[in-house]
Amino acid sequence: MGVGMPVGADVLATTTMGFGSSTAMTASTHKVVINGVVPKSGEISSVGFRFGAVTKGVTTELLVSLQNLDLANGPPARPDGTVDQSGTVSSGSIVSNAFVTVTLSTSRTVTVGDLLAVVLEFNTFNASDSITVASLVVVAGAISQLSVVSHYNGTAWTAATTQQPILTLGYSDGTVTSFLSTVPTTSITSSAFSSSSSPNERGIRWVPTARQIVVGLWTTLIPSADHDMVLYDSAGNELGVISVDANIVRTSALRPQYHLFSSPVTVTADATYYLTIRPTTTTNITVYTCSLNAAADREAWPLGTEADGATRTGTGAWTISSTSRLPILPIIDFAATVALPVVRVI
């Protein structure tokens, strides 16, 4: 059985599900850069990111540019210093903990696998300015080598060792992606809930675009009580159920979980499924829901626009959100999926 890891799960395998921030830009020469690998060919026309804590003057303005990476110096990875495409962030849009999208004056043509730097620096600086860029906090040993948040103090570059970037790359065709091993979010909400809560089931709605073999589910949560991980079809039938006893986990803390079904489940293209967490006692477990700046940002997340947030109470109707995502993903048997017979209708 060729079981594959859920694509994108690495960036969500955090022990905090919280925000960190870059070193503050507090001088006119300071810069923050987000480096990464482009996952899609096309024309990038905008970039988006989330501020951390901000103090700034009334005339402060930022320049946001796309640059090539410096292949002669490093590590850490750094831009080459040549502004290729750029846009500005006015003082009124520089707000603590706010997500901002910057339209570039000209688009950049990119190819899958390109290395790219998104550079933030002062266009207009005031002596009181202190600006940080938000990121997701992850375990130092699990951070991607090629998705980097770095700070320039006017002399040297320093990489953040436990931070994965929060970034969107907007394309001229209206789609949105992000660097590999990077996801965009505006806020993260923890929800402690039990079988007696409303809602008492949380997860995602999934409409796959291809037939696949699902052998289990991955999630990250605080398993402080017994719970089920469930794969439903659109009619509410339980196609796969994993019952998790809270006594068997490593620790009652935020950690990833991989679980396998007793039998694989075949999902078909364009059919609707639900992947959920369902407490089985009146003792709370805790899950985390990430909010998205816009529905288009789903494409930058694992499963892309195939998935939306989903919650319900009991066997009631599902509430669907295109701007939220709970970290739960299918584990796909890629070997079996590829080997599925194809029926041709003539």
Q: What distance in Å separates the CA atoms of residue 161 and residue 180, rounded to the nearest whole number?
A: 17
Residue 165: pLDDT band with limits 50, 70, 90: confident
SS3 (DSSP) at 21? strand
- Please work out, in degrees rounded to the nearest 5, the angle formed at the alpha carbon of residue 88 by the alpha carbons of 85 and 94: 140
- Please work out, in degrees rounded to the nearest 5, the angle formed at the alpha carbon of residue 54 by the alpha carbons of 51 and 59: 105
How does pLDDT run across 255-294, given as a tens digit for each residue? 888 899 999 999 999 999 999 999 999 999 999 999 999 9
Quick one: pLDDT at residue 9?
Answer: 65
Of 51-60, 72-81, 89-98, 190-199, which range is least confident?
Answer: 72-81
What is the reported pTM? 0.87
Q: What are phi and psi of 296, to 5 degrees?
A: -60, -25
Could you give all domains of the chain from N- to C-terminal order, each with its CATH number?
16-184 (2.60.120), 188-338 (2.60.120)
The order of strands in the sheet holding 31-37 is 85-89, 61-67, 115-124, 31-37, 148-152, 157-159
Provide the residue type at 93 as one letter. S
How does pLDDT run across 104-127, given as a tens digit for each residue? 999 999 999 999 999 999 999 999
Provide the residue type at 260 as one letter. L
Can you tell me the mean pLDDT for 215-222?
92
Q: What distance in Å separates the CA atoms of residue 52 and residue 29, rounded to the nearest whole number?
A: 19
With a cut of 50, say whether residue 208 has pLDDT above it: yes
Quick one: pLDDT at residue 346?
Answer: 44
Provide the residue type at 299 as one letter. E
